[in-house]
Amino acid sequence: MKNFEVNAVGPYMLARKLTPLIKVSQRKLIVAISSTAGSIEGADASYGGFPAYRASKAALNIITRTYGDHVKKDGIISVMFFPGVVKTDLGGPDAPLETADSVVSMIKTISTLNAENNGCFIDYEGKTVPW
């Protein structure tokens, strides 16, 4: 339940609260930080474990996708976004990506998002992630 609250319900409530401000922003974006861990199509036995985390990210994806459909009429672009496997507390010291490299790529990709990306699940380099 904690995973769902923090990873899925929290971002949804935040997006709803911020929508009036997003509507009047120059760049109207909702970027949900998701994970390939929540990809059902990409799930295989080698990933292993973490059912609560993974289910919460799948929930985040469908919540964001659904809310994105709702606010599309206001010109808001919503995406589900995988930051890569990064050396953070979560990713651990053996993760392949440095935090700075992930963040630089994320900013670059997010800054080029357009209407074609609406409702898509993409990674830090802009590549499509399977649902």
Ligand X SMILES: NC(=O)c1ccc[n+]([C@@H]2O[C@H](COP(=O)([O-])OP(=O)(O)OC[C@H]3O[C@@H](n4cnc5c(N)ncnc54)[C@H](OP(=O)(O)O)[C@@H]3O)[C@@H](O)[C@H]2O)c1
Q: For ligand X, give the closer residue by CB, 59 or 72.
A: 59
Q: What is the closest distance, in whole angstroms, from the C-beta atom of residue 12 to ligand X in the complex?
A: 13
Q: For ligand X, give the closer residue by CB, 28 or 103.
A: 103
Is residue 79 within 8 A of residue 120, CB to CB? The reply is: yes
Q: For ligand X, give the closer residue by CB, 22 or 124.
A: 124
Give dist(CA 124, CA 27) in Å, integer.
18
Q: What is the closest distance, in whole angstroms, from the C-beta atom of residue 75 to ligand X in the complex?
A: 26
HSE, side-chain direction, 13 A CA sphere, residue 14: 14
User: Could you list the residues that contact ligand X (CB under 6 A)?
Assistant: 6, 33, 35, 82-83, 85-86, 88-91, 95
Q: For ligand X, give the closer residue by CB, 25 or 52.
A: 52
Give dist(CA 51, CA 76) in Å, integer.
31
Q: What is the closest distance, in whole angstroms, from the C-beta atom of residue 93 to ligand X in the complex?
A: 11
Q: What is the closest distance, in whole angstroms, from the C-beta atom of residue 118 to ligand X in the complex?
A: 21
Q: How many residues does the chain have?
A: 131
For 9-130, list the strands marked E by DSSP.
29-33, 77-82, 121-123
